[in-house]
Amino acid sequence: MIQTTEDRIYNNLKTNVGFHRSKKFKKWFHDEYPDLQMHHVFGSYTGIKTSDLCSVPVDDKTHTYAERHKSEFAIEFLPIMINIMQKRIICLENER
């Protein structure tokens, strides 16, 4: 099967993000986006979610899209994921 460019990018990123867990990040995330679900941009490997830090807020419809179109979703939502990471870093810097 020939991989699309999106699939190659997705698989390369997914392979390298790891499996970091962060209760503090998850709490902050749910406080920031209380009406949305936390979706791991790079999904999971055999049921183990990839890094919590690589998550974006989604509604039910977007979550369904993400599950059906993993590569396209991940690439489309990379800028949002980066913005969330920046927002979290700024929040942490302001706590000091």
Reported as a single tens digit per residue, the pLDDT across 51-89 is 999 999 999 999 999 999 999 999 999 999 999 999 999
Are 52 and 22 in contact by the 8 Å Cβ rule? The answer is yes
pTM: 0.90
Q: How many CA atoms lie within 13 A of 64 on its CB side?
A: 2
CA distance 88 to 25: 8
Q: What is the pLDDT of residues 1-13, one digit of tens each?
A: 788 998 999 999 9
Q: Which two tokens stand for residue 42?
A: 């790079």
